[in-house]
Structure 1
Amino acid sequence: MASHGIRDRVAIVGMGCTRFGEHWDKGTDDLLIDAATEATDSAGVDISAIDAFWLGSMGSGESGLAVSRPLKLDYKPVSRNENYCATGSDAFRNACYAVASGAYDTAMAIGVEKLKDSGYSGLVNIPPAHDGTDPALTGPSMFSLLAPAYARRNGLNDDQMKDVLTRIAWKNHANGARNPRAQFRKEVPMDTIRNSRRVSGQLGIHDCSGVSDGSAAAIIVRAEDAHRYTDTPLYVKALSFVAGPAAGPTDPTFDYTSLEEVVRCAQDAYGQAGITDPRRELAMAEVHDCFTPTELVLMEDLGFSPRGEAWKEVLAGAFDRDGDLPVNPDGGLKSFGHPIGASGLRMLFECWLQLRGEAPPERALDTIADGRRRALTHNLGGQPGACVCFISIVGTELG
């Protein structure tokens, strides 16, 4: 992959994130204002000091006016991004590139979605015309196909596979229960998860991420300027974005046990960041657990587990908050919620809190106390075999 990256050329100096959930008392404008205000306050700047803005929203705003109007911007450039569930991450990526290029000194990436008022669940767009080969399946149905495929490849029976999926949901609910900004803040017993009403295939209600309202924002500056704003910036080590050829649904060799877009994206991101052993070098990872089998497959595609071993490591607690590599310590999409345009920036917000030592004691990670200083975020959008993928790596130290 011909990606040179912008390692250590830009830094995050301010972030904000609303609580995710059912905000019946707030509109899109309110959520944007809340996230932007927290971000500017944390960076110690006025909104007027931001040179340019990138908005990520799947269906809760059109054009740059969706941001300029509520934030009362004084004739600033505002670009709206949409890239399925990686929308907020792509807004962040573009804002980082703009600053790294020298076009702007400061930029804000901000994502928002107001799904509860829309009456929709999942992607809030009108499907484009296609050639008839796209499967007429819901999101849960498409991703439910990962579970039996993974089980068959690795010799698991239905009960064993359900144990693995249950353990992933249990972990993420346990993490979300400790997070005041999460949509679902209760631990859920494994029996409740295992026996929850089926949605599609082996997936029950507790295997699916929440439908949420929320917003998150990040302020980006040149790395050499970062300490003018904060003593603890996060330096961007890698930004990788991949759009696959969407051949999976019509390819007879595609077996639903690996997402090639994720594999390629991870290779690129690790190359940019100089990471050779992500399991040992990363302090944490926020991954796109839209459904529990997605998180399972991602553990292998991201190189956190050897092929065929992730299910064992999930059951052993390797990715728990106090495990070898904490995955989704804020609760993930599963528990924190998934307002599409904001999710990628929400993942970065958890890295911001954890790496800077601002997470409360009950959520602080041993891996950071032990000296690891880099974190990964991962989004994907679309369906198995036809998706886009984003990975960022950020860290507290230059070099």
Structure 2
Amino acid sequence: MPISNQVAVVGTGVTRFGELYDRSYLSLLHEAATAAADDAGVEVGALEAAWLGTAEPQLGALVGDSAAAVTEALGFAPRPVTRVANFCATGMEAVRAAALAVAAGEYEVVLAVGAEKMRDLAPRESLVAKAVEQSHPVIAKGRTAPGQFALVASRYLHTYGYGRDVLAAVAVKNHQHATNNPKAHYRTPLTVEQVLSAPMAAEPLGLLDCTPTTDGAAAVVLASRRWAERNARQWVLIQGIGVGSYAGYYPALFRRDNDFLGFAATRAAAASAYRQAGITDPRAQLDLVECHDCFTITEIVNTEDLGLFASGTGGAELLAGTTTLGGELPVNVSGGLQSCGHPVGATGVRMVAEVTDQILGRAGSRQVRGARRGLAHNLGGPGAVAAVTVLGAA
């Protein structure tokens, strides 16, 4: 595979995630990008091109509607800049586009940055309003993100005989992990009782089964392996990166082949990334996973779709401690979307940065001991698209 082990992550930068009313979109983008460049040991002026992931520019007065935001924030002119958007897989799509350009030999060292400003609007003016006012006039009415994923949760619990306590276990685990992440939106531990007694959002998903609305930015500097070997202080290799799709935003819930027990897009993206990375047994060959947990049920079914656990056993493995820091295969040691929050364009880049820092042994108190290979995964829309990146030690 032409991309496998030929593109390196040589620098990472992540802002604090949270309700950042005092920060602008451009200031967050600037902070993440310059931090990644500093980590790579290069000047921003040495970066040859940039890709920007922003999914919802209408939430921030259209700042981020074009990658010219990178030019403005960093003084990047006249170098090429490109904005990408792919639902919640937007951030990882930016990394993928940048990596492919390096693998193709077009550039030696580039920037991938994701940023989103989601908290400057009241809830009734944000994504909730967009879904009501701008989407399909018939099939979208009453349709919300919690409602869509609640269908998966109901189906999974019914089919495999779990109770709501298995959903609560995801929130408890990830909030506990986040106590070790100073950049997470929420760093307060939760109990199962708190999760189960929280107000209901869309049965069986309560408020604490849902990811918060968050501001933030994340960036990585990518380089050719040749450049990294000559210039980088430390680096991690992209061993595989894949994207899969299933259906459009509306049809995904109406397809006859949708069993509501997982996401075909994730399975396709994983198959592509695993093929490139030479992975045949992901549970045995991965040391940690950052996977999309926009709702608690999503982490459980994603661990199964990623081939970590057999269908229906993801909940049992979670309850057994397999995915907890210190367990056999830690999942979302950053705190995941549940605790870090989900500034859509930034999330996938943050995940790649987290896995990179883990492999380099610089994740502090959340460090996975002996981490040499990890996976980052995004799911977009109601299972419409997914992205998977496998990273390994040089």
TM-score under structure 1 normalisation?
A: 0.92
Equivalent in the alignment of 1:205 = 207
Q: Does structure 2 conserve the Cα–Cα contact (< 8 Å) formed by 1:146 and 1:256?
A: yes
Question: Secondary structure, in 3 states, of the residue corresponding to 2:157?
Answer: helix
In the alignment, residue 73 of structure 2 is paired with which amino acid? P
Question: 1:107 touches 1:220 (CA, 8 Å); kept in 2?
Answer: yes
Is the CA contact (8 Å cut-off) linking 1:193 and 1:204 kept in structure 2? yes
Q: Which moved more, 1:254-263 or 1:43-52?
A: 254-263
Structure 2 CA distance for partners of 1:283 and 1:364, relative to 1, 3 Å: same
Pairwise CA distance, 1:133: 4.5
SS at match of 2:13: strand
The structure-2 alpha-carbon separation of the partners of 1:278 and 1:18, relative to structure 1 and needing over 3 Å to count, comes to same
Which has the larger displacement, 19-28 or 219-228? 219-228
Tell me the CA shift for residue 122 of structure 1.
Answer: 4.7
1:275 aligns with 2:279: yes
| SS of 2:381 mapped into structure 1 | strand
Determine if contact 2:102/2:108 at 8 Å carries over to the other structure.
yes
| SS across alignment from 1:145 | helix
Q: Which among 177, 187, 198 is matched to residue 179 of structure 2?
A: 177
Q: Distance in 2 between matches of 1:227 and 1:193?
A: 48
Indicate the residue corresponding to 1:53 in structure 2. Answer: 50
Distance 1:275 1:197 in 2: 41
User: For residue 104 of structure 1, what is the aligned residue in structure 2?
Assistant: 107
Q: Secondary structure at the match of 1:357?
A: coil
- Cα distance in 2 for residues equivalent to 1:254 and 1:5: 33
Q: Specify the SS of the correspondent of 1:215.
A: strand
Counterpart Cα distance in 2 of 1:325 and 1:252: 33
Q: Is the 8 A contact 1:58 1:124 kept in 2?
A: no
Deviation at 1:364, TM superposition (A): 1.5
Letter in 2 for 1:149: R
Counterparts of 1:150 and 1:359, CA distance in 2: 33
Matched, 1:379 2:382: no
**TM-score scaled by length of structure 2:** 0.93
- Give the residue type in structure 2 aligned to 1:119: A
Change (3 A) 1:266 1:51: same
Is 1:148 matched with 2:154? yes
Aligned partners of 1:102 and 1:40: how far apart in 2?
Answer: 20
Q: Which residue of 1 aligns with 2:61?
A: none
Question: How big is each residue's C-alpha offset from its partner over 1:257-306, in whole Å with a ceiling of 9 and x where there is no partner?
Answer: 12111112111111110001111111110001000011111111111111
Corresponding residue SS for 1:312: helix
Contact 1:109 1:217 in 2 (8 A): yes
Q: Distance in 1 between matches of 2:191 and 2:127?
A: 26
Higher mean Cα deviation, 89-98 or 59-68?
59-68
Q: Is the 8 A contact 2:245 2:264 kept in 1?
A: no
1:312 aligns with 2:316: yes
What residue is the counterpart of 2:27 in the other structure?
Answer: 30
* AA in 1 matched with 2:372: R
Residue 244 of structure 2 aligns to a residue in which SS? strand
Partners of 1:84 and 1:123 within 8 A in 2: no
Are 1:392 and 2:394 matched, yes or no? no
SS of 2:354's partner is helix
Q: How many Å apart are 1:166 and its aligned residue?
A: 0.7
Whether the 8 Å contact between 1:287 and 1:327 is mirrored in structure 2 is yes
* 3-state SS of 1:112 partner: strand
Question: 1:198-347 maps to which residues of 2 (within 5 A)?
Answer: 198-246=200-248, 247-347=251-351
- For the 8 Å contact 1:11–1:234, the answer to whether it is kept is yes
User: How far apart are 1:252 and its partner, in Å?
Assistant: 3.6
CA distances 1:115-156 after superposition (whole Å, capped 9, x unpaired): 0003345589677665854564100110011111012221x1
Q: Which amino acid aligns with 2:42?
A: V
Are the equivalent residues in 2 in contact too, given 1:13–1:229 (CA < 8 A)? no
Select which of 63, 67, 73 maps to 1:70.
Answer: 73
CA contact (8 A) 1:48 1:74 kept: no
What is the distance in 2 between the residues matched to 1:242 and 1:101? 21
SS in 1 for 2:347: helix
CA offsets per residue over residues 308-347 of structure 1, 9 Å max, x none? 2111111111100111100000000000111000000110
State how many pairs are aligned: 383
CA contact under 8 A between 2:218 and 2:349: conserved in structure 1? yes
Partner Cα separation in structure 2 for residue 167 and residue 30 of structure 1: 36
Q: 1:125 to 1:77 in 2, by over 3 A?
A: farther
Regions of 4+ moved over 2 Å: 118-136, 227-232, 245-255
Unaligned runs of 5+ in 1: none
What is the CA-CA distance between 1:174 and the residue it aligns to?
0.2
Tell me, in whole angstroms, the C-alpha distance in 2 between the residues paired with 1:71 and 1:27: 14
Deviating more after overlay: 119-128 vs 347-356:
119-128
Contact 1:59 1:125 in 2 (8 A): no
Q: Distance in 2 between matches of 1:164 and 1:343?
A: 24
Q: Distance in 1 between matches of 2:202 and 2:387?
A: 26
